[in-house]
Chain A
Amino acid sequence: MYNEVYINNKVRKEYKHLLANIGNLSPDVIKRKKSEAEDIIRNIGITFSVYSNTDMTEHLIPFDMFPRIISASEWKKIHDGVTQRALAINAFLRDIYHTGEIFRAGVVPSDLIYRNPAFDVKMIGFDVPHHVYAPIIGSDIVRTSKNDFYVLEDNCRIPSGVSYMIENREIMMRMFPDIFQQMKVESVDNYPQHLLNTLMSLKPKNCYGEPNVVLLTPGPLNSAYYEHTYLADTMGIELVQGNDLYVEDGITYMMTTVGPKKIDVIYRRIDDKFLDPLSYDNSSLIGIPGLFDSYKAQNLTIASAPGSGIADDKAIYSYMPDIIKFYLGEKPILNNIMTYSCYNTEDRKYVLDNIHKLVIKEVHGAGGYGMLIGDRASKTNIDLFKKKISKNPSGYIAQPILDLSTVPIFDNANLSERHVDFRPFCLVGSNFRKLVSGGLTRVALKEGSLIVNSSQGGGVKDTWVLADKDAK
Chain B
Amino acid sequence: MLSRTAENLFWFSRYIERADATVRLLEVGYRISILPNTDQGYRNEWEAIIESIGSKEEFIRRNRAFNRKNIEYFLLFDKQNPSSVINCFSKARENIRLARTAVTLEVWNAINTSFYEFSTYTGARYTTKNLLEIIDIVKRLVNTIRGTIVNTQLLNDGFDFLTVGTYFERSDFTARLIDVKYYILLPSSDYVGSANDQFQWGMLLRSISSYRAYNWAYGTNEYSYSRIIDLLILNMDCPRSLAYSVGKISEHLKSLVNYYNQNSKAHNQAKVIFKKLKSQTPDQISNYGLHEFLESFLVQMDDLYDCLNQKYFRGI
Contact = CB atoms under 8 A, between A and B. Distances in A.
Interface of A: 42-45, 219-220, 225, 229, 232-233, 237-241, 243-244, 246, 254-260
A412 B268 CA distance: 63
Given A255-B315, A256-B315, A257-B157, A238 B2 contact: yes
Given A220-B97, A220-B98, A257 B312 contact: yes
Most chain A Cβ neighbours within 10 Å, of B2, B109, B316: B2
28 contacts: A42-B112, A42-B116, A43-B116, A44-B108, A44-B109, A44-B112, A45-B97, A45-B112, A220-B97, A225-B97, A233-B100, A233-B101, A233-B105, A237-B101, A238-B2, A238-B101, A241-B4, A244-B2, A254-B2, A255-B4, A255-B314, A255-B316, A257-B1, A257-B2, A257-B6, A257-B260, A257-B312, A257-B315
Nearest to A45: B112
Given A238-B2, A256-B3, A259-B315, A43 B97 contact: no
A241 B5 CA distance: 11
Q: Is the interface of A mostly helix, strand, loop or mixed?
A: mixed
A238 B3 CA distance: 11
B15 to A, nearest CB: 16
Given A246-B316, A260-B316, 5 more contacts: A219-B98, A240-B2, A255-B2, A257-B157, A259-B316
Contacts of A243: 4
Q: Is the interface of B mostly helix, strand, loop or mixed?
A: helix
B98 A44 contact: no
B312 to A, nearest CB: 5
Interface string B132-159: 0000000000000000000000000100
Contacts of B316: 246, 255, 259-260
A229 B5 CA distance: 13
Contacts of B189: none
Contacts of B3: 244, 255-257
A44 B105 CA distance: 8
List 7 tightest A-B contacts by C-beta distance, closest first: A229-B100, A255-B3, A233-B101, A257-B312, A45-B112, A232-B101, A258-B260
B154 to A, nearest CB: 12
A65 B54 CA distance: 50
A170 B184 CA distance: 55
B160 to A, nearest CB: 10
Contacts of B100: 229, 232-233, 239
Interface in B264-282: none
B83 to A, nearest CB: 21
A254 B2 CA distance: 7
Contacts of B98: 219-220
Interface string B90-121: 00001001101100010011001100100000
Contacts of A260: 316
A43 B260 CA distance: 34
A56 B109 CA distance: 22
A42 B1 CA distance: 28
Interface in B43-87: none
A45 B111 CA distance: 10
B262 interface: yes
A43 B1 contact: no
Contacts of B109: 43-45
A45 B103 CA distance: 14
A184 to B, nearest CB: 28
Interface in B3-36: 3-6
A241 B8 CA distance: 13
A258 B262 contact: yes
A162 B262 CA distance: 40
A254 B3 CA distance: 9
A129 B1 CA distance: 27
A254 B98 CA distance: 16
